[in-house]
Structure 1
Amino acid sequence: MPDNIAQIGPQATIPQPSMLHPAMPPASYGVLINEAPVDGLSNLNAAQGTQSQFPNHAMDLNGSNVVPTFLDPIIYEAHSTDSNVDIDHRLPLSPRMPSPQLHTLPNSSTALTSGQLRIQSLAGSTILITNAHFTTTDAVGETSRTSSQALRTLYEHIAPAAFHNSLQRCDPPKCHPGTREAIQRQILNFSDDPSKFSAVVMWLYGPAGAGKTAIAQTVAETLFKKKKLAASFFFSQMSKDGHRHHEKRLIATIAYQIMQNTPLVCPHIEHEIQLNPAIFDMSLEDQLTSLILQPFRKLGSEQPAEVVDKIPRTIIIDGLDECSDSAAQERVLKILRLLVGARDAHPFNVIVVSRPETNIIQWFDNKAGSSLAWRLNLQDSTEKDNDIAIFVTDELTAIAKSYRLKHHLPAGWPSKSVIDEIVGKSSGQFIYAATVVRYIQNCRGVPSTQLEALLSSTLPKKARPFAELDALYTSIITKSPYSHDLVSIMGALKFSLKFCDFPFDGVLEGNLCYVQRLLSLSAPFDVIVTDFSSLLDFIYDDPVSEASDDDSSGFQSLSWAKPFHKSLHDFITDSSRAPQGYHLNLSDFVSEMFKTIHGT
């Protein structure tokens, strides 16, 4: 037997040459001898991709140099012209081959001991090979490394703080048990079968503080538990994470969550990232195609319809109005329209949650189409006041039960009259009630006494119980180009209630210009009011018979406005709460109004 290979143990069954060339499985391990791989040597204790130097001789137990006959084809294949291994040329080798080939040693196990490669066949023979360079290749490991790199690349371009279950959004607002049930049912029914609504996009909208995010969060958690949530993105202007302020990471964030919730599509998304790592610097349209639509098209061509139909399809986008600016918001809506329109990829449906900002209203009016979007207005809900009463009752009762000095609390506290007062001041908006409850939970005094002081506005200024509400109002008012005009309009509303025999309930279309001049507004009255549609309720009534002499039609539209929330007036007339430059001094405003009216 040739002198650098030794056979130990009983005679091995000699396999036929055809047994040395089986079809290679896609995930295999190999060892390169003379740069040619020998498959099956998976237990090497050498570093991957490195070469190991072995002693310059190999012998059997008697000191004889031996080579088993069945290894001749391996040495024959391995001995190439570009070899860097010194093989004893006394071996009976066949002519050199031009390129290395990959082969398998059948029915064998391998190990490296003391610098020697030991191959144990199932027949009992042990083969030792020395004086060779070995390089390991790991197809499975290489695939895993490539996949991991793609996932890491994707992770570097997402906004994890925008997930519904992100750590930054720990303990997010959610619907109180037993509240918002009818609205939740409508949304979940839409998620289950959008065809019943003849739409693939739902727009849930309502004024500031209406509890939209709490509803979106609760629905997202419900769908996630049912494995029906594809992805979610919660925009926020107030977030410490800058990536929640804009749309640049929206598609990557959705794609990442889809990978977590739909493992079947992972290889296809990873493949797209490997093909084009720069995809994250391209347009949102290109990202959508590459990271979501193409992978789902490939998945659909591989998997049966019954498998694809079970894949989550609902995407929730909350706080769209808090995405940087109107142009960015419209880009998001455009992308979502492309997403739900690609039914050949996957039948996604989207739930968009926002305030009724003018540009968003216009998009749904003009670009979405009735066949695309279904609208759900929180202001139309008949359960608002009842839900707020349930929430306040439960929370204040819990405070009473946990308060250690119960003898200081009035009997039966909280009373129905207290609950009703909070509900009335809430004006159908959960944020006021939630702010009141949170303050009482954290105050140090007797809860009933602190609540009475809060409702009567006799708390010391430093207490700042409505800091969260104030921050919300400040954010909305200061970002509008008509912020100072809003102060004037709020003054006019209060002026009419104080000095007129009837409340301010509307402005005739023909009088809009007069109101604009009277208040020195920088834009038409109705233009300004619609820009604050999350704070002011503004409606064009049907034409009424109030024709002026020069109005041939005999009819004019009646426009009217009022705050959604009574606390807006409290905020804007309190110099300690309103931002500097936006405080309404009612007495000064009234004086100026009289001067303007009487021309003095």
Structure 2
Amino acid sequence: MEAVGSAASIIAVIELSAKVASLCFQYSSAVKNAKSDVERLQGELERLTTTLQGAQRLLESPNGKRLQTSQGLRNGLIDCSSQLSELQSRLEKKLNPGSARKAMSRIGFRALKWPFESKEIDSIIKNLERYRDTLSAGLAVDGVTQVLDVGQTFVLSKLPTANDAAFDSHADEHDARCLPDTRVDLQREIITWADDPHGKCIFWLKGMAGTGKSTISRTVAQSFANKGVLGASFFFKRGERDRGNAALLFPTIASQLVVEEPAVAAHIRAAVDADPHVTDKPLEEQFDKLVLEPLGKLKGDPSRVKTFVLVLDALDECDRDRDIRLIISLLSKAKTLNSVQLRAFVTSRPELPIRLGFAKIAGDYHDLVLHEVAPLIIEHDIAAFLRSRLAEIRDDHNALYGGSKQELPLEWPGSEVVHTLVQMAVPLFIFAATVCRFIQESGYDPRQQLVQVLQYQSRIHQSEIDKLDATYRPVLDRLLVGSEAAKRSVVARFRAVVGSIVLLAEPLSIRSLAQLLDIPEDAVFHQLQPLHSVLRIPASADSESPVRTFHLSFRDFLVDPDKANKQEEYPFWVDDRETHEGLAVRCLELLSTEDRLKNNVCGLRLPGTHRSDINQKIIDTNLPPDVQYACRYWVYHWKESKCLLQDSDLVDQFLKRHLLHWLEALGLLGWISESISMVDDLLGLLDREGSDKVSTFLLDTKRVIRSHCSIIDIWPLQVHYSAIVFAPKQSVVRRTFRNQFPICLDLPPKVELDWDACIQTLEGHTNSVLSVAFSHDSKTLASASDDKTIKLWDAATGDCTATLEGHTDWVSSGTW
């Protein structure tokens, strides 16, 4: 019984119940003195069978495997089965063929005696009723679960989420966890904090790059998941589109909460129903409506409050400092919940925005400095890691070369070497991890690889930067072979390919990277082959998997500005501004290539086609990943290059030829709202001299986008049919693209001569607005209203960034 699933167990019990019922029927026709007891038992068996059949149908339904209550009834089924088996045995004993049956045949079958007393039947029926009631209760709970599952499905379909953000995502499944017997005290402290009903609502684990924060995060997240208290996890990662910012943080957390706690689905659904655009609202509103308030509405046992832990790793890799500080402030609101215990485990480098954020919630968090953990403990843990990984490397190597001269001895590499590596590494776990990947690289002798690593021990001093040198120099220095001309060629290719990889706004596959850089795929693939210890590289050039860095510290090492004047010592140093400029230029060249961007690039039949009705495969075919990347990030790279804009330069030429095509593409990809901030970034790069024309064009572009952004977002082709056609006659953009008016418009509509005073309408207050005021830098607008709130608006995009509530009456002014 224990070896089969609950559905199979129920089937077995149903069959057993049927056998017992059949035996009872035989007795009912043969005995007179116990007819009432037989009928009572038959009736209970019928009721039990009906309940069991209902359980069978529920467990065999599409969602049956997810019905945890019924799945947990196996012990009850075992007891029920035992009771029925005993009944079967005693009933059959009187009916078994043999001498007993022969004797009965001589005196008549009606002489058969019922084997139970009435008191026994009372007890048996009571037991069967108890099993049936327990099973019925489980079915009732799981019936509700079925309903909740519908709510879960709805909510999950409405919440946009960040790919691979969870601790157990497929993309990061091979990332390290803490080895047994390492980080023991730290893990115990974290688990104790989460369980403590009087503990702080945030645990901040801070540490310098490479000290193992993410490894600890994954490990404790798994521990919380095993205990059933993990609410959600979000692992930030710079250079990953959805994980490098906070835009999808709270929708992602909410979607995970729905899976972990189905009862919260109804409350999140209510929030989405009340405001379908809640995921586009300011972070504070998202957190309140999708996380805080739904959890606050959960009801449970007051004597045993349920715990939910949120794990947020690498918060410093979120790209906006203001978002970082706001997230910390929002997480501190967990202390206001009474119905549940919400905790947040946060890791980061101790950078300024993080420190400022925590300074504002002093008293609401517990912190620990990872690199200040006792050196002996760090040494112990790094030594355990190295011994384990080097033993794996030895065993894998000997599996291939066992019995030959290349076989490694069982004592390799020896305790002294391990001790030396530990001293080189402390306190950086990233050193140990990178060195092991380097030693294990395919095609190299582990002994020779280890010798190369040990050559760098004399270069290590007290600086962590020196330790990063020892981490990455062995990997890079071995690339420098051959003549001086050959070495210069190696460095140039490295900077072009790897320099671009570490500075991309989001990772690309080898194929897409090759298209973007205009380099053959095979050349990119072969350039990356010696770098498996520092980059995650797909097995083949045509793989769609992206190339990723193992750790952000590799990027930090390559672009370190202190190495700019030491290029003889650091030949692989990457000039980030120069690389960003090269990427920006390549993006624009790619987008300017014939047919990459054009009017109606997806070949849609109707200009009124809704974006949601366009098959994503059609979009991806006509706008492949490299083109999508260029559309979204060319402005980012130009901004990071700090190159100024001038009339008739590359940017000016691109916009005056492809502005409408670019906006259409952004509309198709769902990114049109980002174009306003992109134009603002370009306006901030204008050269004071020689940029009058491009300045005028950009200002007019901004007004065109603001006027039609929502339309283009829904119907992308309307950039050609509405945005330009209905722009004022004096609009520079309209005049520039006058010859691209749709052919169907023989007589363009009458329009105003110039833009009116209204640039944009900001909507959100539910009553009269009594006053407005700008911040000192003119980037934020505050509006005070009769609805008892003050709203803060992004002056560039018109987005509401915060709603300040708490006033008991109307607000007549909002000054800075």
TM-score (norm 2): 0.39
The one of 181, 186, 189 aligned to 1:186: 189
Q: Distance in 2 between matches of 1:464 and 1:172?
A: 17
CA displacement 1:101-155 (0-9 Å, x = unmatched): xxxxxxxxxxxxxxxxxxxxxxxxxxxxxxxxxxxxxxx999987764333112x
Q: Distance in 1 between matches of 2:302 and 2:215?
A: 35
| Aligned CA-pair RMSD | 3.2
* 1:148/1:260 CA distance change after superposition, 3 Å: closer
Q: Distance in 1 between matches of 2:146 and 2:340?
A: 31
Q: Which residue of 1 aligns with 2:369?
A: 377
Does residue 176 of the first structure (1) align with residue 179 of the second (2)?
yes
Q: Distance in 2 between matches of 1:219 and 1:211?
A: 12
Q: Distance in 2 between matches of 1:326 and 1:381?
A: 27
Q: State how 1:233-244 maps to structure 2 within 5 Å.
A: 233-239=234-240, 242-244=241-243
Q: Which residue of 2 aligns with 1:152?
A: 157
Contact 2:183 2:381 in 1 (8 A): yes
CA displacement 1:329-348 (0-9 Å, x = unmatched): 1121122122x232235321
Q: Distance in 1 between matches of 2:367 and 2:207?
A: 11
* 1:182/1:142 CA distance change after superposition, 3 Å: closer
Q: Which residue of 2 aligns with 1:333?
A: 328
Q: Distance in 2 between matches of 1:464 and 1:260?
A: 39
* 1:367/1:274 CA distance change after superposition, 3 Å: same
Contact 1:470 1:577 in 2 (8 A): no
- Deviation (angstroms), 1:417: 1.8
Q: Which residue of 1 aligns with 2:221?
A: 220
Q: Distance in 1 between matches of 2:200 and 2:288?
A: 22
Q: Distance in 1 between matches of 2:303 and 2:256?
A: 22
If asked which structure has higher relative contact order (CA below 8 Å, sep 6+), I would say 1
Does residue 207 of the first structure (1) align with residue 287 of the second (2)?
no
- Deviation (angstroms), 1:474: 5.4
* 1:148/1:395 CA distance change after superposition, 3 Å: closer
Contact 2:296 2:337 in 1 (8 A): no
Q: Which residue of 2 aligns with 1:432?
A: 431
Decide which structure has the larger Cα Rg and report it: 1
Contact 1:436 1:465 in 2 (8 A): no
Q: Distance in 2 between matches of 1:478 and 1:334?
A: 34
* 1:145/1:453 CA distance change after superposition, 3 Å: closer
Q: Distance in 2 between matches of 1:226 and 1:141?
A: 24
Q: Which residue of 1 aligns with 2:534?
A: 467
- Deviation (angstroms), 1:227: 0.4
Contact 1:474 1:578 in 2 (8 A): no
* 1:387/1:142 CA distance change after superposition, 3 Å: closer
Q: Which residue of 1 aligns with 2:255?
A: 256
Contact 2:329 2:357 in 1 (8 A): no
Contact 1:204 1:354 in 2 (8 A): yes
Q: Distance in 2 between matches of 1:187 and 1:471?
A: 24
* 1:274/1:419 CA distance change after superposition, 3 Å: same
Q: Which deviates more, 344-353 or 452-461? A: 452-461
Matching residue's letter, 1:329: I
Contact 2:202 2:346 in 1 (8 A): yes
* 1:244/1:465 CA distance change after superposition, 3 Å: closer
* 1:435/1:478 CA distance change after superposition, 3 Å: closer
Matching residue's letter, 1:467: V
The one of 360, 377, 388 aligned to 1:367: 360
Residue 172 of structure 2 aligns to a residue whose secondary structure is coil
Q: Distance in 1 between matches of 2:238 and 2:419?
A: 33
CA displacement 1:90-110 (0-9 Å, x = unmatched): xxxxxxxxxxxxxxxxxxxxx
Contact 1:262 1:312 in 2 (8 A): no
CA displacement 1:300-345 (0-9 Å, x = unmatched): 3xx44246x1x3321111000000132221121122122x232235
Does residue 578 of the first structure (1) align with residue 573 of the second (2)?
yes
Matching residue's letter, 2:154: Q
Contact 1:204 1:375 in 2 (8 A): yes
- Deviation (angstroms), 1:367: 0.5
* 1:274/1:470 CA distance change after superposition, 3 Å: closer
* 1:245/1:473 CA distance change after superposition, 3 Å: same
CA displacement 1:463-511 (0-9 Å, x = unmatched): 45763589734534788xxx64x459x98xxxxxxxxxxxxxxxxxxxx
Does residue 267 of the first structure (1) align with residue 272 of the second (2)?
no
Q: State how 1:384-533 maps to structure 2 within 5 Å.
A: 384-404=378-398, 405-406=401-402, 407-408=405-406, 409=408, 412-456=411-455, 460-461=478-479, 463-464=530-531, 467=534, 472-473=552-553, 475-476=555-556, 484=561, 486-487=562-563
Greater strand proportion:
1
Q: Distance in 1 between matches of 2:426 and 2:319?
A: 29
Q: Distance in 1 between matches of 2:339 and 2:276?
A: 22
Q: Which residue of 2 aligns with 1:353?
A: 347
Q: Which residue of 1 aligns with 2:282?
A: 283
Residue 324 of structure 1 aligns to a residue whose secondary structure is coil
Q: Distance in 2 between matches of 1:332 and 1:354?
A: 13
- Deviation (angstroms), 1:238: 3.6
Q: Distance in 2 between matches of 1:401 and 1:200?
A: 45
Matching residue's letter, 1:578: W
Unmatched tracts of structure 2, length 5 or more: 1-144, 457-473, 481-529, 536-548, 578-816
CA displacement 1:168-195 (0-9 Å, x = unmatched): 2222221122211111111111111162
Matching residue's letter, 1:320: L
The one of 299, 302, 306 aligned to 1:305: 302
* 1:395/1:475 CA distance change after superposition, 3 Å: closer
Q: Distance in 2 between matches of 1:274 and 1:581?
A: 45
Matching residue's letter, 1:367: K
Does residue 232 of the first structure (1) align with residue 227 of the second (2)?
no
CA displacement 1:255-298 (0-9 Å, x = unmatched): 11111111122222112212221111211221222222222333
Calculate percent identity across the aligned residue pairs.
28
* 1:424/1:142 CA distance change after superposition, 3 Å: closer
The one of 162, 165, 168 aligned to 2:165: 162
Matching residue's letter, 1:472: L
* 1:177/1:143 CA distance change after superposition, 3 Å: closer
Contact 2:148 2:263 in 1 (8 A): no
Greater helix proportion:
2
Q: Distance in 1 between matches of 2:230 and 2:151?
A: 28
Residue 368 of structure 1 aligns to a residue whose secondary structure is coil
Q: Distance in 2 between matches of 1:573 and 1:277?
A: 57
Residue 178 of structure 1 aligns to a residue whose secondary structure is coil
- Deviation (angstroms), 1:581: 7.5
Contact 2:307 2:340 in 1 (8 A): no
Residue 316 of structure 1 aligns to a residue whose secondary structure is strand
Q: Distance in 1 between matches of 2:557 and 2:437?
A: 24
Q: Which residue of 1 aligns with 2:616?
A: none
Q: Distance in 2 between matches of 1:146 and 1:581?
A: 48
Contact 1:316 1:352 in 2 (8 A): yes
Q: Distance in 2 between matches of 1:261 and 1:143?
A: 12
Matching residue's letter, 1:202: F
Matching residue's letter, 2:162: A
Matching residue's letter, 2:231: A
* 1:573/1:271 CA distance change after superposition, 3 Å: farther
Q: Distance in 2 between matches of 1:227 and 1:581?
A: 44
* 1:248/1:345 CA distance change after superposition, 3 Å: farther
Residue 272 of structure 1 aligns to a residue whose secondary structure is helix
- Deviation (angstroms), 1:299: 2.2
Q: Distance in 2 between matches of 1:415 and 1:478?
A: 32
